Structure 1
Amino acid sequence: MRHFVGFLSGLILGPVLVLVCGWAFAHLRGLHAAGLGALQGSGPVAVAGLVGVGVLVALLAVPPRLTPMLPFGAALVLGALTALSLVRMPLLERLPQVPGAEGALVLLPLGVFVPLALVLFAPLFVGGRWRREPEGPSEEEVYFDGLYEEDDEDRAPRAGAPSAPHAPRHRA
């Protein structure tokens, strides 16, 4: 079930990555046309968007316990949109105009998202990400086990005394 949910989440995150990159590109291109730098005016907001894309890609590609279908779904969307922009660009131009779509339509035929798609495609081949690791006792169980131990266990047993199984003592 986690692979299915991860795949659907990846299909949602793929267009988000494309649109945020397209929005940042259009924003930074407008600043460049006005003669401003990336750190002047409202440029830091666009740079922060690109930093957010980088952090999101790192969170998709790196964690070992995450299902590999999540980055695969995003890579599938990125690769498909790039291929579609090369083969049938008029089809993409008919999509609704949302923030970032204009910049994304400029970046897609240039192949900017192909390396990103390959990075997100690579976790599919890491075998350890396909199976769930067996979980040991949770932190809560370990905490409560230590909480109810008797203080008598810290004392050394008398020589020659038989060791009896630990029985809890209750006080009234």
Structure 2
Amino acid sequence: MAATALGIANPLRKAKAAGEGLDLASDVAKAEHRLKEAEEAARTAAKEGSNGTRVSKPQLLPDEGKVGTYGDLIAAGKKGDDITPHHIPSSNRMAKEGITKRDGVAINMEQPTPGSGGRHRSTFTYGNTADIGMTPRDALAAGVRDARRIYQADGLYTPELRRSLQDLIQMNKSEYPTIFEKK
């Protein structure tokens, strides 16, 4: 009543008065059908990338999580496998301790090639010297926490990956005991 008093007419009443003969039940059914189609389209769009390709649930790639020296992991890999060794601590940080890039301890991480994205590119030290001012022990801890965060975000922090990160810590400490000793 107040709406009519304000001069705002009921659209259905207005349409019927104009002789349009709307079938309310039919219109509601059509609207519900369009809503269901829109919801399904939204669900499908959420599963697809911006280029329309299906986006699947993230998975670990073969050899992802394997630990070794950077040189050994590079030698064991193959071109186009979308895997690259990630130094933890970074090769820049370890260079301050006299350790070569090839001899630094690393873990295989996903890195699509060619392309962008991937877990390796998500690390806080990718392409920079973010851990250079840290002690070796702090850089090791920060790198492990960062890798764990990335794998947890993708729902891939499995017991096997946890063991790989533990192996990475142990390998750093056994290969370079004086660098990682508590002070």
Larger Rg: 2
Task: Pick the TM interval, shorter chain.
Answer: under 0.3
- Between the two structures, name the one with larger relative contact order (CA 8 Å, sep ≥ 6): 1
Higher strand share: 2
TM-score with structure 2 length normalisation?
A: 0.25
TM-score (norm. length: structure 1): 0.27
